[in-house]
């Protein structure tokens, strides 16, 4: 039974704890055992707090036994990307410059996790300042390969069943790509759904919070818990949020309509990933409509880059100048690019971003979702020195659209390959409902064909 606890979904674990069938302490001990067994090979954790986690679990069990209220994640372990501030453990943001940094307060999303009864297991490894320099984490599917970035440790920890849930962030493709590489569900909800207060900022415009899980429902449950309005975050919207767990578990009222854009950068796809995606499109049949995008749509990748380089320079130029020997070449290069971008160019890029948001608002009047690659294929080898190509994610991130990586494909080296699904802004429940339909449709097709 002990080994099986780590295979429970977060929703199953929370229900089992609330009903008294298992204890939070037993679940946390099982997770810690798994971490001790595989962490030396994977390196998912920047800071682990075993004793503190067990204390949180015992407190959760006492609360349940006393008959007091329990939350949606009562006693369930969660990992946090090491850019999320926590008052009781370091938040070093993947940089030696911040070694030993201890925030004075929890991030807003950590407050929500504590209110829901979650057990904070520790901080997962991130790339340096959540940018491009690869971290030391390795892919649980094959430790010779990268888990992706920048949310490398969060994706790896969930894939290795160290924790059922983890929080990450995405400014380009830092949730969707690691989820694809590690074979888990990665979900970045609509921009502004989850507060960024208490998180490292690299781009005030583009930074967004996302999550990792081993099921669609678990990803939805976590966002339901940590989402909410925060007046201190300019991107946070003061409107009700859709019920995502309800959406993930719902049946579609009618079969959805799905779009596929033949983007020019799809020539970067590995042959096995291209073949797998074509099989998905073929299986879904008439529900998918293919488009040749206008140049303006394909150029959103460059618009994203302009905004990102300009804003990361505003935030990090002084830090880089003062710590040139302790900062990666990748970040130094971004600062150089950002310093060459004029204010007019930046403002033009912001105007194009606003136009793209309006375009997609109209587009989703006719379509339930956009189907897209999540990454170029299987995870690259670590020796290649990079965390993969984010180009398949940046247009959707720019527009703030909810995006989901579904672990549907396997590449030629038996490594996971995700399929990305993008939905309408603030209609994340509709996106998850469509994703559930796609999963069931593909599984039914495989069953019919004896696969």
**How do residues 27-45 score in pLDDT, each as one tens digit?**
999 999 999 999 999 999 9
Q: What is the pLDDT along the chain (451 residues), one digit of tens a residue?
A: 455 899 999 999 999 999 999 999 999 999 999 999 999 999 999 999 999 999 999 999 999 999 999 999 999 999 999 999 999 999 999 999 999 999 999 999 999 999 999 999 999 999 999 999 999 999 999 999 999 999 999 999 999 999 999 999 999 999 999 999 999 999 999 999 999 999 999 999 999 999 999 999 999 999 999 999 999 999 999 999 999 999 999 999 999 999 999 999 999 999 999 999 999 999 999 999 999 999 999 999 999 999 999 999 999 999 999 999 999 999 999 999 999 999 999 999 999 999 999 999 999 999 999 999 999 999 999 999 999 999 999 999 999 999 999 999 999 999 999 999 999 999 999 999 999 999 999 998 776 776 6
| Annotated catalytic residue, options 24, 81, 154, 169 | 81
81 assigned to active site: yes
What tokens appear for 19 in the block?
A: 């009903």
CB–CB of 123/88 below 8 Å?
A: no
Q: Within the chain, what is the greatest distance between any pair of CA atoms?
A: 62
Radius of gyration of the chain (CA): 21
| Annotated catalytic residue, options 150, 195, 236, 328 | 150
What pairing do the DSSP bridges indicate for beta strands 77-81 and 165-170? parallel
136 assigned to active site: no
What tokens appear for 305 in the block?
A: 């880059």
| Annotated catalytic residue, options 24, 151, 154, 174 | 174
CB–CB of 13/218 below 8 Å?
A: no
| Burial of 52 from C-beta contacts in 10 A (0-12 / 13-18 / 19+) | middle
Confirm whether pTM is higher than 0.85. Answer: yes
282 assigned to active site: no
Coil, helix or strand at residue 370: strand
CB–CB of 247/429 below 8 Å?
A: yes
What pairing do the DSSP bridges indicate for beta strands 77-81 and 119-124? parallel
Phi-psi region of 436 (alpha: psi -120 to 50; beta: other; left: phi over 0): alpha
Q: How distant is the alpha carbon of residue 384 from its chain centre?
A: 23
Q: How distant is the alpha carbon of residue 1 from its chain centre?
A: 30
């Amino acid at each position: 039974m002990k080994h099986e606890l780590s295979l429970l979904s977060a929703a199953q674990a929370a229900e089992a704890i609330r009903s008294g069938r298992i204890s939070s302490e037993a679940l946390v001990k099982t997770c810690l055992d798994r971490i001790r067994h595989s962490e030396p090979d994977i390196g998912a954790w920047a800071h682990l707090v075993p004793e503190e986690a067990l204390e949180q679990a015992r407190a959760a069990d006492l609360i349940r036994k006393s008959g007091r209220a329990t939350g949606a994640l009562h006693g369930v372990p969660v990992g946090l990307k090491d850019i999320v501030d926590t008052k009781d453990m370091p938040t070093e943001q993947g940089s030696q410059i911040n070694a030993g940094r201890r925030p004075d307060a929890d991030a807003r999303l950590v407050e929500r996790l504590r209110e829901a009864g979650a057990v904070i297991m520790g901080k997962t490894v991130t790339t340096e300042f959540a940018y491009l320099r690869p971290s030391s984490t390795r892919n649980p599917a094959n430790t010779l390969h990268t888990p992706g970035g920048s949310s490398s440790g969060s994706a790896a920890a969930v894939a290795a069943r160290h924790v059922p849930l983890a929080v990450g962030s995405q400014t380009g493709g830092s949730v969707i790509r690691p989820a694809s590489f590690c074979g888990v569900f990665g979900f970045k909800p609509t921009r502004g759904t989850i507060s960024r207060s208490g998180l490292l900022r690299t781009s005030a415009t583009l930074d967004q919070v996302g999550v990792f899980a081993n099921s669609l429902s678990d990803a939805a449950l976590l966002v339901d818990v940590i989402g909410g309005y925060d007046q201190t975050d300019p991107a946070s919207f003061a409107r009700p949020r859709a019920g995502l767990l309800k959406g993930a578990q719902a049946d579609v009222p009618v079969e959805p309509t799905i779009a596929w854009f033949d983007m020019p950068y799809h020539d970067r796809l590995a042959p096995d990933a291209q073949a797998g995606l074509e099989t998905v499109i073929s299986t879904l049949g008439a529900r998918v409509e293919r488009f040749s995008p206008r140049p303006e749509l394909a150029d959103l990748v460059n618009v994203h880059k302009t905004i990102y380089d300009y804003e990361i320079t505003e935030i990090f130029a002084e830090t880089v100048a003062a710590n040139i020997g302790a900062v990666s070449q990748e970040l130094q290069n971004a600062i150089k690019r950002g310093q060459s971008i004029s204010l007019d160019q930046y403002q033009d890029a912001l105007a194009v971003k606003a136009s793209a948001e309006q375009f997609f608002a109209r587009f989703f009047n006719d379509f339930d979702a956009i189907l897209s690659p999540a990454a170029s294929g299987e995870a690259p080898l670590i020796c290649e020195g990079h965390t993969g190509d984010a180009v398949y994610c940046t247009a959707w991130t720019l527009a703030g659209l909810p995006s989901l990586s579904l672990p549907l494909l396997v590449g030629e080296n038996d490594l996971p390959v995700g399929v990305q699904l993008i939905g309408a802004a603030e209609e994340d429940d509709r996106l998850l409902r469509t994703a559930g339909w796609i999963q069931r449709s593909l599984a039914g097709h495989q069953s019919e064909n004896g696969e």
